[in-house]
Copies of this chain bind each other. A is one copy, B any other.
Amino acid sequence: MVSIKDVAKLANVSVTVVSKALNGYTDVNEQTRQKVMKAAEELKYSPNMLAKNLKQKVAKSIALIFSNFERADGKDGVLVQIMSGVFEAANKHKYEVVIYTRSLSEQQDKSYWKFCKEHKISGAIITGLKTTDPYFQEIIDSDLPCVVIDTMLSGANTGSISTDNVLAAQQAVEHFIDKGHRNIGMMNGHEFAVVSKQRLEGYQKALELHGIPYDDRLVINADFSETKAYEMTEGFLQEYPHMTGVFMSSDLMAIGFMRRCHELGVQIPDQISVMGFDDIVLSSYMMPKLSTVRQDFHEISFTAFEQVIDILENKQKGTHIFVPFKIVDRDTIKVLQSP
């Protein structure tokens, strides 16, 4: 393998000069710089990042951590969108990204923190972190700059980012209300996600704002799972036949719900309206097309990256950031009466 020594030899200078020439130092004569460049070119030299990062004590790379990778069956395209956002930002800031996946099914010997430490990683972006995660506190307490997606926390080195879930949920059910609905159910995700609490709060808020009494029997928990939603819809529908619409905490659940409705012969949106959350790719391909609130995952992860850079390079404190969402009304909400 060709090292800096080899190019030094060929260019007839010291390794110091080679290093300086290649890294834009000013105390090297332009002619010798050319000489060095030519030698490096000739030998097809490329620096050993391991040595480089070792010396500099830190690698210019940030970790993208998927803490629930087993759920990533590709149905929602969000994982890809998240990747796309961080890769774009990484490219912009000249960082590298290393992905660390963790699935709960397999025992994990290593915590994120240990992983990042071992690799001298500068910062991290974390997704899919449950509040019950054993490493939750570790992350927050650590001195590693990191921002976690879809939660709310802030510390010296930790920030977070998400869409404004309570506002989004509120607007979503207000959308129902605007179309004349008064009996609106909700299918929520599991309680270990902070987004579940927030969306429920938004749901309640909208109801309260429009003088509709809150009935906790109308909100059930389907664990963010398509099949669980599928299984629960029949009972849900039978038990509360006066519901005219249901707000789902995720598109995946909405799809499970719709599929079961289709089998049961209940027409959407004629007999029951539904609104999802996320706007995954499947949603616009459904028949009928699913109305939902669109989260901009690309923007979320891009901004997440920029925040870790901010606290890394600009010594900013961690904070929480909201990124804009959008209600997208397609074909699954029936208008009962004009507003």
Contacts and interface: CB of A to CB of B under 8 A. Distances in A.
Interface of A: 1, 46-51, 53-54, 57, 59, 69, 72-81, 83-84, 87, 91, 97-99, 101, 106, 114, 117-120, 255, 281-282, 285-287
Contacts of A77: 73-75, 77
Tell me the number of copies of this protein: 2
A53 B114 CA distance: 17
A188 to B, nearest CB: 23
A45 to B, nearest CB: 10
B69 A74 contact: no
A84 B99 contact: no
Nearest to A262: B287
A75 B77 CA distance: 6
A50 B46 contact: no
A120 to B, nearest CB: 6
Residue of A48, A50, A98 with highest tally of chain B CB at under 10 A: A50
A73 B69 contact: no
Contact of A281 (B59, B74, B81): B74
Contact of A255 (B54, B83, B255, B285): B285
Contacts of A84: 69, 72
Contact of A285 (B50, B83, B282): B282
A1 B120 CA distance: 10
A50 B53 CA distance: 7
A91 B75 contact: no
Nearest to A98: B98
Contacts of A53: 50
12 contacts: A1-B57, A49-B119, A50-B51, A50-B54, A50-B59, A50-B119, A73-B77, A73-B281, A74-B76, A75-B77, A83-B101, A99-B99
A113 B129 CA distance: 35
A77 B118 CA distance: 31
Residue of A51, A83, A120 with highest tally of chain B CB at under 10 A: A83
Nearest to A70: B84
Given A54-B54, A91-B106, A106-B91, A117 B285 contact: no
Contacts of A54: 48, 50-51, 54
Contacts of A287: 287
A286 B282 CA distance: 9
Contact of A74 (B51, B81, B118): B81
